[in-house]
Chain A
Amino acid sequence: MNFTESFRIAIRAVFANKVRSALTMLGVIIGVAAVILLVAIGTGVQGEVTSTVEGLGSNLLFIFPGKQSTTGGGSSFGPGMSGGKPFSLSDAQYLRTRLQLIDAVVPVASGAGNARYQNRNDYATLSGTTDQGTLVVSATLGAGRFFNRSENDAASRVGVIGYTVKTSLFPNGEDPLGRVITINGQRFTVIGWYTKVGGGLSGDQDNVIRVPISALESLTGNSRVPIMLVKVTNTSDIDLVRAQIKRVLAPKFSDQITVMSQDQTLGIFNQLLGTLTVMLAGIAGISLLVGGIGIMNIMLVSVSERTREIGIRKAVGARTYDILSQFVIEAMMLSVLGGVFGIAVGAGGAFALSGLVPTTVTPWAVAIAFFFSAGVGIFFGVYPAWKASKLDPIVALRYE
Chain B
Amino acid sequence: MTKKPTTDALPKGAADTGRSLASQRENAFLGEDRRRAEWGRRLDGRRTVLEVRGVTKVYQLEGIEVHALCGVSVAIREGEMVAIMGPSGSGKSTLMHIIGLLDRPTSGVVSIEGEVVGDLTPNQLAGLRNQHIGFVFQSFNLLARTGAQANVELPLVYGGVSGSERARRAREALERVELGDRLNHTSGQLSGGQQQRVAIARALVTNPSIVLADEPTGNLDSRSGVEVMGILQDLNAQGITVVIVTHDANVARHARRIVELRDGEIVRDEPVPDRLDAHDEIIQLGMNTVGGVERARAAGDPA
Q: Does A128 contact B (CB under 8 A)?
A: no
Q: How far is the CB of B287 from chain A (nearest CB, A)?
A: 31
Contact check: which of A308, A309, A311, A318 meets B158 at CB < 8 Å? A318
Chain B residues 115-146 with CB under 8 Å of chain A are 122-123, 126-127, 129-131, 135, 137, 141-145
**Are A316 and B129 within 8 A (Cβ)?**
yes
For A4, the closest partner residue in chain B by CB is B163
Stretch among A160-168, A247-255, A319-327, A371-379 lining the B interface = A319-327
Contact, CB under 8 Å: A16 / B145: yes
Known A-B contacts A5-B157, A309-B143; the reply to A317 vs B102 at CB < 8 A is no
How many angstroms between the C-alpha atoms of A199 and B41 in the bound complex?
A: 97
Q: Are B154 and A313 in contact (CB under 8 A)?
A: yes
Q: Is B160 an interface residue (CB 8 A)?
A: yes
A290–B135 alpha-carbon span in the complex (Å): 42
Give B213 Cβ to nearest chain A Cβ, in Å: 13
From B103, B135, B157, B160, residue with most partner A Cβ within 10 Å: B157
Q: Is the interface of A mostly helix, strand, loop or mixed?
A: helix
Is B155's CB within 8 Å of the partner chain A? yes
Q: A16-B145, A308-B141, A322-B158 are in contact. Are A316 and B103 (CB under 8 A)?
A: no
Return B59 CB to nearest CB of chain A, in Å: 11
Q: A283 contacts the other chain (Cβ, under 8 Å)?
A: no
B117 to chain A, nearest CB (A): 15
Bound Cα distance A394, B155 (Å): 17
* Complexed CA–CA distance, A28 and B144 (Å): 29
Number of A-B contacts (CB under 8 A): 56
A312 interface contact, C-beta 8 A: yes
Given contacts A308-B141, A319-B126, A321-B123, contact A1 B97 (CB under 8 A): no
Q: Is A136 an interface residue (CB 8 A)?
A: no
- Cross-interface CB contact of B129 among A2, A317, A321, A322, cutoff 8 Å: A317
Q: How far is the CA of A394 from the CA of B100 in the complex (A)?
A: 10
Most buried by A among B102, B126, B130, B131: B126
Q: Which residues of A contact B135 (CB under 8 A)?
A: 315-316
Task: From known contacts A309-B144, A394-B103, A397-B141, infer whether A319 and B127 are also in contact, taking CB-CB under 8 Å.
Answer: yes
Query: How many chain B residues touch the partner (CB < 8 A)?
Result: 25
Alpha-carbon distance A394/B126, docked complex (angstroms): 12
A314 within 8 A of partner (CB): yes
Interface string of A1-40 (1 = CB under 8 A from B): 1100100000010001000000000000000000000000
A393 CA to B158 CA, complexed, in Å: 15
Would A1 and B158 be within 8 Å (CB), given that A308-B141, A312-B141 are in contact? yes
User: By the criterion CB–CB under 8 Å, are A316 and B202 in contact?
Assistant: yes
> Does chain A have a CB within 8 A of B89?
no
Residue of B nearest to A318 (CB): B158
* A397 CA to B143 CA, complexed, in Å: 12
B160 to chain A, nearest CB (A): 7
Q: A318 near B126 (CB under 8 angstroms)? A: yes
Task: Identify which of A311, A317, A397 contacts B155 (C-beta below 8 A).
Answer: A317
Chain A hits for B141, CB < 8 A: 308, 311-312, 315, 397
B40 an interface residue at 8 Å Cβ cutoff?
A: no
Q: Known: A1-B157, A5-B157, A322-B158. Is A317-B144 also a contact (CB below 8 A)?
A: no
Tell me the nearest residue of chain A to B94, going by C-beta. Answer: A394
Q: Using an 8 Å CB-CB cutoff, how does the interface string of A140-152 with B read, 1 for contact, 0 for none? A: 0000000000000
- Enumerate chain B interface residues (CB-CB to A < 8 A): 97, 100, 102-103, 122-123, 126-127, 129-131, 135, 137, 141-145, 154-155, 157-160, 202
- Given A312-B143, A317-B158, A394-B97, 9 more pairs with CB closer than 8 A: A1-B158, A5-B157, A16-B145, A312-B142, A314-B126, A316-B202, A317-B159, A319-B126, A322-B158
Q: What are 8 A-B contacts defined by CB distance under 8 Å? A: A309-B143, A311-B141, A312-B141, A315-B129, A316-B129, A316-B130, A317-B155, A318-B158
